[in-house]
Structure 1
């Protein structure tokens, strides 16, 4: 089950997220021009004006023209990063997506590697990959992201698409997830973080503010929308408040403890509630309790700073039998089911 795909590994692999004290880095200079959209957290229009692609459109074949232009994307049918990033993706028309995802149908795994800005084309990417994965019944879905941020409104829209489609999110040790990307991180069913996660204040594109009160008024609606979004995705609304205190020219790196406190690492709390109910109903009342016991043991026995992801995986696989996994009735729901 997606809820448990990398739950224990998420606890073990927060190797590069931060230190015991908050870390601040200098970000690229920000100018009041469109160049500021290259990274960071920017807002350009009311969130209420940003709407998801209608389900009846995605269920058909006549998809609006779109392509990946704000970054680079690849599709792999393997969770193992050693196999490479996979096939490059640019066109997001229906038949191009069919072609690139068809090889993933039999293994039942898709890993989308994305490096770039959070923008409307990124939203289209995750919406369309999710819709096609549903059609092809590809259950294991991983978004392997490396992004310095982008538009808040597009991040909220993309995050809602991710949250409704059962994705695990990765931030590798050589990747980052900054500013608006943190909203994407909040949406995953599970989060595996080895890279840096950072936040700072959003900037309003085309702002007409001449004083702090006017600027605050301009940002109020999008700030409230961010808080509502975080809340429905099981993350702390304190993230939105903290973002407003860090100058846009700087970057506050969140520590391991802060990521846990804000609900941005490991299993998503909101999804956890839903899946515990489903697990107990389908696999037996003791199944969730055994999953919890496994996660605690994995944290204490497999967690080690600097340990490679493959070592963590092998440790988890060896630990399973102690807790009755793989479970004969619900093999696919087990804590390391992706690695069986």
Structure 2
């Protein structure tokens, strides 16, 4: 009796035979049976190979061009001024857009003056970061050396404050917290990044939280806080601010606020010249002009602070006062004439705000309607103009 074959087995045998025949046919043509068809490895034509993915473009490189990605101030407002003296001249025009040509229009009047002041009021967020980056990029194009961030902020996103601060630290900003303004919470991180800081308003700190915490227990919250605290400590250290500020923040509940006293601001390195930037400038000058030059320049600066920056001294008198001190400390220096401190102060301080003819008539009306009077509490503090350096 002839055994019956399973139909399923027959189909398997036929499929195996067919696969073997296909493999033999491919081999006869010199083709690898595992090779994918040509269409799978070419793009556009049989001779074109796949192109590597383009490298990521940095924000700095993007801002060197004229097409800037869309960005907007999402938590505050900004005004652009070319003047130091806000009681007399106000805060300038509102910046309506962060696109390239809006910045060109807003900042072009500041080219001749060499000063741009950004009055920002609002939260620290992505829009604020874009604002500082784009104003600095345009100031570099227009060769505007003095950039002032005149800030009034109750805080915002910690991560954006760190991003904005790192950008500010690399682009030569002075930061003002003027009278009736505040700088609280994450804003303190921005303040830390300035080359110089001039504070008349209130600076307050409390515990910093991640923008989007996922903690569900104290242990998880502790790990998150430890991580952000380490980031903040590293950031403060590279910006010449005492890391004790970060530790002090951890002791103040997020719903509370600790206002720092003037003595604490000085002690922690948040007011006046940025210690890290000062060291960097000293290293650069010593390399270029020698150690003796640096020592004499430091002595000059101390004398300038005592004699030219006292209470009641006008802005316009500072360059003249600096020039009178030069000879006492051996300036201008023959080996480094361009680095003489009187030249630096004269370059970085504003020229007279009004000439004699304009002073008698046609004086500018301030934007807030207040009379332009003599020096007083409403006049920008003398140290604020030093901060413009």
TM over 0.5: yes
| Structure 1 residues 221 and 251, CA gap change in structure 2 (3 angstroms) | same
Distance 1:318 1:80 in 2: 19
CA distance in 1, matches of 2:304, 2:260: 23
Q: 1:336 to 1:104 in 2, by over 3 A?
A: closer
Give the structure 1 partner of residue 326 of structure 2.
324
Q: Structure 2 CA distance, aligned partners of 1:68 and 1:79? A: 23
Query: Could you say what secondary structure the match of 1:66 adopts?
Result: coil
**Structural RMSD (CA):** 2.6
Unaligned ranges ≥5, structure 2: 1-55, 352-389
What is the rounded CA distance, in whole Å, between the counterparts of 1:165 and 1:208 in structure 2?
34
Corresponding residue of 2:72: 67
CA contact under 8 A between 1:108 and 1:138: conserved in structure 2? yes
Residue 143 of structure 1: SS of its match in structure 2?
Answer: strand
Is residue 183 of structure 2 the alignment partner of residue 172 of structure 1? Answer: no
Given that residues 116 and 148 in structure 2 are in contact (C-alpha distance below 8 angstroms), is that contact kept between their aligned partners in structure 1? Answer: yes
Paired residues in the alignment total 286
Q: Partner residue of 1:191? A: 197
Q: CA deviation at 1:323?
A: 2.8
Q: Does the aligned pair in 1 maintain the 2:121–2:153 contact within 8 Å?
A: yes
User: Pairwise mapping of residues 1-340 of structure 1 onto structure 2 (< 5 A)?
Assistant: 54-81=59-86, 82-282=88-288, 285-301=291-307, 307=311, 311=313, 313=315, 316-317=318-319, 319-324=321-326, 327=332, 329-330=337-338, 332-334=343-345, 337-340=348-351
TM-score (norm 1): 0.76
Q: Cα offset for 1:59?
A: 0.9
Q: C-alpha displacement at 1:258, in angstroms?
A: 1.3
Say which structure, 1 or 2, has more relative contact order (CA 8 Å, 6+ apart). Answer: 1
Deviations 1:218-275, CA, capped at 9 Å, x for gaps: 2222221111111111111111111111112221111122112211111111111111
Superimposed CA distance per residue, residues 168-211 of structure 1 (whole angstroms, 9 cap, x where no aligned partner): 11110121111101101110111111111110112344434343
Against the structure 1 CA distance between its residues 103 and 336, is the aligned structure 2 distance closer, same or farther, given a 3 Å change threshold?
A: closer
CA contact (8 A) 2:81 2:117 kept: yes
Shift of residue 141, structure 1, vs aligned partner: 0.9
Query: Once structures 1 and 2 are overlaid, which stretch shifts more, 201-210 or 328-337?
Result: 328-337
Partner in structure 2 of residue 32 of structure 1: none
Structure 1 unpaired stretches of 5+: 1-50
Distance in 2, matches of 1:312 and 1:120, equals: 38
Q: Is the 8 A contact 1:234 1:270 kept in 2?
A: yes
Deviation at 1:103, TM superposition (A): 1.2
Asked which structure has the greater CA Rg, the reply is 2
Shift of 1:339: 3.1
Conservation of the 8 A alpha-carbon contact between 2:146 and 2:348: no
The 3 A distance-change label for structure 1 pair 263 and 229 is: same
TM-score w.r.t. the length of structure 2 is: 0.67
Q: Which has the higher strand share?
A: 1
Looking at structure 2, the residues matched to 197 and 217 of structure 1 have their Cα atoms a distance apart, in angstroms, of 27
